[in-house]
Amino acid sequence: MGMNENVSKPLDRLSNELAGDMAAVNALIRERMASRHAPRIPEVTAHLVEAGGKRLRPMLVLAAARLCGYQGDSHVLLAAAVEFIHTATLLHDDVVDESQQRRGRPTANLLWDNKSSVLVGDYLFARSFQLMADTGSMQVMRILANASATIAEGEVLQLTAAQDIATTEDTYIQIVRGKTAALFSAATEAGAVISGVEAPVQQALFDYGDALGIAFQIVDDLLDYGGSTTTIGKNVGDDFRERKLTLPVIKAIAAADDEERAFWTRTIGKGQQDEGDLDTALAILKHRGALDAARADAIAWAERAKAALDLAPAHPLRDILSDLADYVVSRLS
């Protein structure tokens, strides 16, 4: 990929740059996930929140606000709100996917039950809207309400598109916007909006988050056909076994001859998978150039993310966000 040394750890540089703000966000998250009446709520939430994700989404809010020169306190409220939405969707996703593991630990639906995951997710979602209301910005409210609708819509679309080998790249991008990019772009846009920068800069930050999120998800889907369990926290071939129509497979199906089409119809469309099928799938993906083509798409989205930043004010955080886009695709090399 031709990454040079100084882009190797942009997430760490982001963490360092935003350490003070993130301490405030983490304190607020702990405070607001409490429940006076229902102790089950903080139990479930703590299990997930304290497993310690990368906190990428709240950092995107903070970075966008700071690089737009924001001086107030609302970015902390907003960052916590975004992390609550993310946590709520994880809780609901694990119910929907019947997952057993998340961030290397058993999922909440396994440790407690599906009921708790559904209801605690609802609680966090409501809490996130309380936090947004505290910012006093109706525009922020609207951005995050829209993102929440896109997320749910994308998940439902994924549900109905799953196992449908006629799924197009357009539908895939729609699903990816829901799964990943909508909250990224809402985070960066909302950070810009509370700073009061002009509309084109708000749009630029939205575009950055959108493109970064799409690159991020394409890379995730590529790693499922080539990464190791330790780098991605799931096993190579999980998506194949779960019959998910991800970008490499969609590209391979578009280029398939009759025999390959029959293979995809059997393994993904009908779910009749035998030993050795994953190896065959990998061989076809390589042979059809589908992995390389998907990788090229991921790189193009990362470039689009970086280009969007041209309209943002010059700032050390802008450079880190730009390097972050490179870093996301560097996971493929």
Query: What residues make contact with a copy of itself under the rule CB under 8 A?
Result: 35, 37-41, 89, 92, 95-96, 114-116, 118-123, 125-127, 129-130, 132-133, 136, 138, 141-142, 144-146, 148-149, 151-157, 159-160, 174
Q: To the nearest whole angstrom, how small is the minimum distance from the Cβ of residue 69 to a copy of itself?
A: 24
Looking at the Cβ atoms of 95 and 201, the one nearer to a copy of itself is 95
Q: To the nearest whole angstrom, how small is the minimum distance from the Cβ of residue 153 to a copy of itself?
A: 5
Say if residue 31 is exposed, middle or buried (CB neighbours under 10 Å; 0-12, 13-18, 19+). exposed
Q: To the nearest whole angstrom, how small is the minimum distance from the Cβ of residue 171 to a copy of itself?
A: 8
Looking at the Cβ atoms of 10 and 121, the one nearer to a copy of itself is 121
Q: To the nearest whole angstrom, how small is the minimum distance from the Cβ of residue 146 to a copy of itself?
A: 6
Looking at the Cβ atoms of 145 and 254, the one nearer to a copy of itself is 145
Distance CA 73, CA 27 (A): 14
Looking at the Cβ atoms of 102 and 127, the one nearer to a copy of itself is 127
Q: To the nearest whole angstrom, how small is the minimum distance from the Cβ of residue 270 to a copy of itself?
A: 19
**Whether the Cβ atoms of residue 186 and residue 147 lie closer than 8 Å to each other:** yes
**Whether the Cβ atoms of residue 24 and residue 60 lie closer than 8 Å to each other:** no
Say if residue 8 is exposed, middle or buried (CB neighbours under 10 Å; 0-12, 13-18, 19+). middle
- At 58, the amino acid letter reads P
Distance CA 152, CA 324 (A): 27
Q: What are phi and psi of 51, to 5 degrees?
A: -65, -15
Provide the 8-state DSSP code for 269. Answer: I
Q: To the nearest whole angstrom, how small is the minimum distance from the Cβ of residue 310 to a copy of itself?
A: 30
Looking at the Cβ atoms of 67 and 194, the one nearer to a copy of itself is 194
Looking at the Cβ atoms of 174 and 322, the one nearer to a copy of itself is 174
**Whether the Cβ atoms of residue 216 and residue 180 lie closer than 8 Å to each other:** yes
Q: To the nearest whole angstrom, how small is the minimum distance from the Cβ of residue 208 to a copy of itself?
A: 23
* 3-state SS record for 70-122: CCCCHHHHHHHHHHHHHHHHHHHHHHHCCCCEECCEECHHHHCCHHHHHHHHH
Looking at the Cβ atoms of 40 and 315, the one nearer to a copy of itself is 40
Q: To the nearest whole angstrom, how small is the minimum distance from the Cβ of residue 312 to a copy of itself?
A: 26
Strand blocks (E) in the chain? 101-102, 105-106
- At 179, the amino acid letter reads K
Looking at the Cβ atoms of 39 and 106, the one nearer to a copy of itself is 39
Length of the chain, in residues? 333
